[in-house]
Amino acid sequence: MTQKLLTLLAAWLIAGVAHALTLAPVKIAPDVYAFIGETGGRTNINYGMNANTGFIVTNAGVVVVDSGSGYLAAKAIHQAIKAVTSQPVRYVINTGGQDHRWLGNGYFKEQGAQIIAARPALADMQERGGMLLAGLKDVDVEMMANTVPTYPEKLFDKQETLRLGGVEIHLLYFYGGHTPGDSVVWLPQSQVLFSGDLVYVDRLLGVLPFSNTKNWLASFAEMEKLKPETIVPGHGQPCSLDKARSETRDYLILLREHMKKAIGEMTDLQGAMDSLDQEGYAYLRNYGELKGGNASRTYLEIEAE
């Protein structure tokens, strides 16, 4: 095979990667849409988009909820938005510091959008951004083409209200949880809540080294007060508050109550893990991969409290 042919083949492959991701918006309420990510892992097929994002259409512009896992993922989000409306993207809200919440910021900033996040999310992004990008490049370098960590320009402490085209969009930060900067997007007119990673359904949530289960439950309790009719969770299908309680809140309570009792009884880490019965959540995807880490990190968290 000639060098010229090899070069053409390589260019074709890269172009194929660049145009491989197609996203289909799901209508949640009038002018409110979500992109429902896969519940499995990050792959070069899904461009690391194994989480949910979304957007709100108004007659004065579009508000995007989470910019996706990279430049090309954000571009795919924008292409799908353009199939729904010709309105420009005015704002992008990052609901946390995980890769799929904000690594697409650079693309939307090029489009003229203002990027907004809770203040604690910025520190998390700055601390972990390089690591997150490197991890996604390990999956596939080409899918991360043009991706540069791009931080939010506007920060809020506890709440911020966007008023655009007659629509009120409430940005609320409670205490964090899955990541320190987790926040929610509340649409009081449609009673829809974009929960970010404060809610996982259909797959087991992940307690990670930077998670805090105590804060997570406190945030969930504040979120419950809103009484949303529909939740767009961080992972899984749009759901009711009852399902969010069952598959997120109740699981966190199980972890914390068991580990608090074990520590009170001077049970060591291994003994506490061995005596924890999580089988009631075995139907959730990723259960086998995540249950051990969830147990051990919750034990260590409570031990340090």
Predicted confidence (pLDDT) per residue in 276-297, tens digit:
999 999 999 999 999 999 999 9
Q: Rounded distance, CA 67 to CA 63, Å?
A: 10
Backbone angles phi, psi at 149, to 5 degrees: -50, 120
- Mean pLDDT across 228-246: 98
Across the beta sheet with 159-164, what order do the strands follow? 159-164, 167-173, 183-187, 192-200, 230-235
Residue 63, beta-bridge partner list? 56, 91
- For the beta sheet containing 32-35, the strands, ordered from the edge strand earlier in sequence to the opposite edge, are 26-29, 32-35, 53-58, 61-65, 89-94, 114-118, 154-156
Q: Where are the beta strands (DSSP E) in 122-166?
A: 154-156, 159-164
Partners of 61 in beta bridges? 58
The token pair that represents 245 in the structure block: 């309680």
* pLDDT tens digits, one per residue of 108-160: 999 999 999 999 999 999 999 999 999 999 988 989 999 999 999 999 999 99
CA distances from 147 to 37, 106, 168 (A): 20, 7, 31
User: How far, in Å, CA of 65 to CA of 260, rounded?
Assistant: 36
Q: Give the confidence band of 20 by pLDDT, cuts at 50, 70, 90.
A: low
CATH 3.30.70.260 at 21-240, yes or no: no
What pLDDT score does 140 carry?
87
Q: Where are the domains of the chain?
A: 21-240
Query: What share of the chain has pLDDT > 70, as a percent?
Result: 93
Least confident of 40-54, 68-82, 228-242: 40-54
- 8 A C-beta contact, residue 173 and residue 157: yes
Q: What are the φ/ψ torsions at residue 265 (nearest 5 degrees)?
A: -95, 10
Q: Give CA–CA dist 179/207, Å, rounded.
A: 9
pTM: 0.92
Residue 186's contacts (CB-CB under 8 Å, 6 or more residues apart) are: 169, 170, 171, 172, 192, 193, 194, 226, 228
DSSP reduced 3-state for 195: strand
- Per DSSP (E only), the strands in 30-153 are 32-35, 53-58, 61-65, 89-94, 114-118
Distances (CA, A) of 164 to 39, 72, 144, 167, 275: 32, 27, 32, 5, 52
